[in-house]
């Protein structure tokens, strides 16, 4: 018993449990051994235990006996089934002789419920819901403060300090002596305490700023900052953690935070008279993303907010184009594809769009739509939605055609599904109307879904295409990070994280002739239509939530630290339990890809 207790104390997350709890677990646990090649459990079982590997190695197989994971000593398996109260769907088999410790389900679930750190390790790592909206009562100071604040020593002259503030375009700087913040210099202080008193430009800032400025830790709430400002009639509050000057919050920061809402964006876009006005609006998108993530909004809400802004910018540009060019000669429809089409834009987005024209359009009319497309695409680029690297834009004549030509495009891709056709079809299945006559697209969408779903060869090619992006899983419970280049040793959370799930959702929509373009809506519609099982849909939705939110949290952190957001996450920045859950999410995706591939092979 003592030996078993000691063993548990060395295995995460059991090492977070008190000794008396470990002794209770040891007394209830059941040892078991399996020889190499033996099946520990198969599909359809209701698990009665959580399996902890003391020594040896176990492989996890999908229902088709395709390996999806290797689990080695000091790790466990079976937690997902116990926590979700579902039967097993695959096989677990000993790779070598394995020694297991079986912990009864009721004991394991008790530990999850009663011990926070233990439960946090196994429970989904999505943040608890926080009241949405730009509410100072719920946002942390760390999410609105200016980081890496300007600071000087007390012997710097007020003239030099003023010049530094001017050059850095800031309204304050901290005065630090021996690593400790002793005061603040602000534009108001320079005016009232120096200029109005006629002090020499050579006066030291330490003589002007005073001592012991009011400060708050970064864990404070926005309302704490506001209260300090109101009580002390100051416009700047320094943020100090463990004696270290880490940030500054100004009255402007507070005002800007409260003003950054999607409604404010849409109102500002409606009032925009020039493309440059729209560009000023979209320049605030990173701040909206960071604040939305900080306030606890889910990834589906955040990406919808950001996409709504892209839609608004596009609609305003279309109206501007019509105001400049006059009314269109025939009805038309501007559509978005890619992440905008799916309403899944983040802080990193290029533009993907096209134009569908009424079949009554004449060659003479085409000049009008060329000018309209150029105006809108150029405007989107100026607003930060850079030109598509693959030229998938309405400014390209190929993607600016009458509906009859679009019908021919889709028919050709379905009938001759070569790799290029697969790529184009994948993009075009995410189409969503933005501005114009929606009826131009509705019949075409239904026709294309029906035609494509009936063509088994096309479906098989779409399945194959959806498997090209693999989750970044390595050996020995590690990650397969990027091996070289600018993003070496990082995870591509777009192409190896989100995209594999997006591709799966697209195939499910095709198989079920489902019209939603949004990935989450596709997954839920696929479950309702019986395209995938309830357990498979649930697992994939959970995996999508975790992967997409990890990506957004990464981008929000970059924005707060003054960096341009990207999709490349360093596993070293994640906690141990975050890495474990992320790997579990990738395993779910791999399992669903394997099931889809097997279904294709069986059908063939």
Q: What is the CATH number of the domain that holds 548?
A: 1.20.120
Same-domain status, 431 and 366 = yes
pLDDT of 126 reads 33
Same-domain status, 242 and 380 = no
pLDDT of 200 reads 92
User: Domain end: 194, 222, 254, which one?
Assistant: 254
What six digits make up the tokens of 239?
A: 């943020």
Same-domain status, 215 and 281 = no
Same-domain status, 268 and 244 = no
pLDDT of 105 reads 92
pLDDT per position as a tens digit, 102-118 = 999 999 988 988 887 78
For residue 579, what are the CA distances in angstroms to 27, 111, 287, 444?
A: 30, 21, 27, 44
**By residue range, what is the domain housing residue 21?**
2-122
- Our count of domains for the chain comes to 4
CATH (domain of 379)? 3.30.460.10
pLDDT of 59 reads 85
Flag whether 27 is in a domain. Answer: yes
Same-domain status, 555 and 473 = yes
Residue pointed to by tokens 């501005």: 435
Flag whether 132 is in a domain. Answer: no
Flag whether 131 is in a domain. Answer: no
What secondary structure letter does DSSP report for 484? S
| C-alpha span between 553 and 428 (Å, rounded) | 29
Same-domain status, 352 and 375 = yes
pLDDT of 210 reads 60
Full-model pTM: 0.65
pLDDT of 125 reads 32
Same-domain status, 486 and 581 = yes
pLDDT of 128 reads 33
Same-domain status, 158 and 84 = no
Flag whether 237 is in a domain. Answer: yes
What secondary structure letter does DSSP report for 497? I
CATH (domain of 155)? 3.10.580.10
What six digits make up the tokens of 542?
A: 């959970």
What six digits make up the tokens of 25?
A: 């677990």
Taking every pair of C-alpha atoms in the chain, what is the biggest distance, in angstroms? 89
pLDDT of 94 reads 93
Flag whether 305 is in a domain. Answer: yes
| C-alpha span between 428 and 598 (Å, rounded) | 26
Same-domain status, 428 and 292 = yes
pLDDT of 319 reads 93
Same-domain status, 229 and 268 = no
Closest C-alpha to 147, from 245, 70, 252, 45: 245
Flag whether 304 is in a domain. Answer: yes
Flag whether 342 is in a domain. Answer: yes
Same-domain status, 241 and 268 = no
Flag whether 448 is in a domain. Answer: no
| C-alpha span between 423 and 461 (Å, rounded) | 10
Same-domain status, 117 and 159 = no
User: Domain end: 229, 254, 279, which one?
Assistant: 254
Give the residues of the chain that fall short of pLDDT 50. 124-133, 600-604
């Amino acid at each position: 018993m003592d030996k078993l207790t000691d063993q548990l104390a060395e295995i995460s997350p059991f090492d977070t449990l008190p000794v008396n709890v470990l002794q209770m677990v040891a007394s209830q646990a059941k040892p078991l051994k399996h020889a190499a090649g033996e099946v520990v459990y198969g599909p359809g079982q209701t698990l009665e235990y959580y399996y902890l590997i003391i020594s040896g190695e176990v492989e996890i197989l999908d229902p088709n006996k395709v390996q999806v994971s290797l689990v080695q000593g000091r790790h466990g398996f079976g937690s997902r089934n116990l926590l979700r109260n579902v039967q097993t769907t695959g096989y677990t088999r000993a790779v070598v002789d394995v020694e297991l410790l079986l912990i009864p389900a009721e004991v394991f679930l008790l530990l999850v419920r009663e011990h926070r750190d233990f439960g946090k390790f196994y429970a989904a790592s999505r943040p608890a819901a926080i009241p949405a909206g730009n509410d100072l009562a719920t946002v942390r100071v760390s999410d609105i403060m200016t980081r890496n604040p300007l600071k000087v020593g007390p012997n710097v002259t007020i003239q030099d300090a003023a010049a530094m503030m001017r050059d850095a375009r800031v309204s304050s700087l901290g005065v630090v002596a021996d690593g400790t913040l002793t005061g603040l210099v602000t534009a108001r202080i320079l005016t009232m305490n120096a200029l109005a008193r006629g002090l020499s430009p050579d006066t030291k800032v330490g003589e002007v700023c005073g001592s012991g400025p009011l400060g708050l830790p970064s864990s404070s709430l926005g309302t704490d900052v506001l209260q300090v400002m109101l009580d002390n009639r100051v416009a700047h509050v320094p943020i100090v953690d463990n004696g270290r000057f880490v940030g500054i919050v100004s009255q402007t920061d507070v005002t800007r935070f409260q003003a950054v809402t999607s409604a404010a964006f849409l109102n500002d876009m409606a009032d925009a008279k020039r493309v440059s006005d729209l560009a000023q609006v979209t320049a605030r998108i990173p701040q909206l993303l960071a604040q939305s993530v900080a306030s606890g909004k889910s990834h589906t809400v955040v990406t919808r907010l950001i996409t709504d802004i892209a839609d608004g910018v596009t609609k305003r540009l279309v109206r501007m184009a019509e105001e400049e060019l006059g009314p269109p000669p025939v009805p038309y429809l501007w559509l978005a594809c890619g992440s905008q089409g799916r309403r899944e834009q983040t802080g990193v987005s290029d533009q993907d769009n096209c134009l569908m024209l009424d079949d009554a359009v004449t060659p003479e009319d085409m000049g009008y739509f060329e000018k309209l497309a150029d105006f809108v695409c150029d405007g989107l680029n100026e607003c930060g939605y850079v030109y598509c690297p693959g030229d998938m834009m309405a400014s390209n004549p190929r993607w600016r055609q009458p509906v009859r030509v679009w019908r021919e495009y889709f028919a050709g891709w379905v009938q001759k599904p070569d790799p290029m056709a697969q790529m184009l079809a994948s993009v075009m299945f995410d189409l969503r109307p933005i501005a114009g006559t929606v009826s131009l697209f509705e019949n075409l969408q239904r026709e294309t879904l029906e035609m494509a779903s009936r063509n088994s060869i096309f479906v098989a090619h779409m399945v194959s295409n959806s498997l090209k992006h693999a989750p970044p899983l390595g050996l020995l419970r590690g990650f397969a990070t990027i091996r070289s280049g600018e993003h070496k040793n990082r995870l591509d959370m777009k192409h190896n994280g989100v995209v594999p799930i997006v591709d799966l959702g697209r195939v499910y929509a095709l198989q079920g002739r489902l019209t939603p373009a949004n990935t989450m809506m596709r997954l839920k519609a696929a479950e309702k239509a019986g395209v995938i099982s309830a357990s498979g849909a649930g697992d994939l939705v959970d995996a999508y939530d975790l992967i997409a939110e990890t990506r957004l949290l990464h981008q929000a952190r970059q924005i707060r630290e003054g960096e341009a957001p990207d999709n490349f996450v360093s596993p070293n920045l994640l906690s141990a339990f975050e890495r474990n859950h992320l790997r579990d999410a990738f395993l779910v995706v791999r399992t669903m890809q394997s099931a889809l591939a097997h279904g294709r092979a069986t059908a063939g």
